[in-house]
Amino acid sequence: MTAASPNSRPDIAELLAFYASAGVDEALEDAPVNRFAEAAPKPAERMPAAAPSDSRAPERPAQPRLDASAVPNAPPARPPISAVSDEAQAALARELASAASTLDELRQHMSTFDGCNLKFTAKNLVFADGNPDASVMLVGEAPGRDEDIEGLPFVGRSGRLLDRMLAAIGLDRTSVYIANVIPWRPPGNRTPTPHETEICRPFIERQIELVKPKVLVNLGGPSAKTLLNTSEGILRLRGNWRAHTTASGVVIPAMPTLHPAYLLRTPAHKKLAWRDFLEVKAKLRALTSP
């Protein structure tokens, strides 16, 4: 990209290339939004204060209101999202997750939960794929573009690599169950924030508890860190058995390994993931043979 002088007009092609390299690959609304037109109206244009319905209530100054219909190309108004703290949203997620006694109920509770902002930019809830009775459950980080479109985890390029890795140890999507820590695609595939992870954590923890796999595979650092309660990096964690303990105290052996998207960028490390998958195969044989 060439350096633009402060007075030059922005080059649209360069700007789009910059957005694309920053991961901004999708418009969130059909129509562009003129953010300048959304500025708060001048005091004289403010709505008059409504007469207090309860004379005991202290009078508050009128709040400036935005009239979406006055903004050119404004998207249809969404119901206001109440300002509830992240902690309160995480508490609500915990309540909803623990109230689910089946995977179908959990999916239903997640689809009605509005406490994670990622839901509002995602196209679909990406709940799971595979066999809920499987002995192996794999957990990734968060859906990407293809997963968001299809509503299924690991269906893009990294999913195709994952399928080949599973096939190498005799497994496929009929014999494993796959989900993500975060079930909604972060816009532009950005890294989920720690708050978003904390809000979504109860759902994946309950999902693991309901599937009751014999073995858990953490695909990548974020899954390992979230579900194994560690801050160690994935290159140190991978290849060593850890434990995931469910809310009801069940201990599930967990193998942290490298994320397929990382392996696509770093093919020299595929041999490490191969070793980890062989460990999983051996553990399954030991746990399931009579």
Residue whose structure tokens are 């989920």: 192
Strand order in the sheet with 176-180: 129-130, 176-180, 136-140, 215-219, 251-257, 242-245
When the beta carbons of 65 and 157 are compared against ligand URA, the nearer one is 157
Number of Cβ within a 10 Å radius of residue 188: 15
Minimum Å distance from CB 247 to ligand URA? Answer: 23
Binding mask 108-147 for ligand URA (x = CB under 6 A): --------------------------------xxxxx--x
Q: How far apart are CA 132 and CA 44, in angstroms?
A: 60
Minimum Å distance from CB 158 to ligand URA? Answer: 5
Cα dihedral: 185, 172, 261, 275 (round 10): 140
Among 89, 117, 135, 180, binds ligand URA (CB under 6 A): 180
Q: Is 186 in the site for ligand URA (CB under 6 A)?
A: no
274 CB-near residues (< 8 Å, 6+ apart)? 165, 168
Please report, as residue ranges, which positions from 153 to 172 form the binding site for ligand URA (by CB under 6 A): 153-154, 158
When the beta carbons of 161 and 199 are compared against ligand URA, the nearer one is 161
Minimum Å distance from CB 205 to ligand URA? Answer: 17
How big is the site for ligand URA, counted in residues (CB under 6 A)?
11
Tokens matching residue 117: 């902002």
Please report, as residue ranges, which positions from 194 to 223 form the binding site for ligand URA (by CB under 6 A): none
Minimum Å distance from CB 156 to ligand URA? Answer: 6
| Residue 274 exposed, middle or buried by CB count within 10 Å (0-12, 13-18, 19+) | middle
Coil, helix or strand at residue 254: strand
Minimum Å distance from CB 164 to ligand URA? Answer: 15
Partners of 219 in beta bridges:
257
Among 261, 273, 280, 284, binds ligand URA (CB under 6 A): 261
Q: How far apart are CA 74 and CA 272, in angstroms?
A: 51
When the beta carbons of 141 and 196 are compared against ligand URA, the nearer one is 141
Q: Name the residues that contact ligand URA, by CB under 6 A.
A: 140-144, 147, 153-154, 158, 180, 261
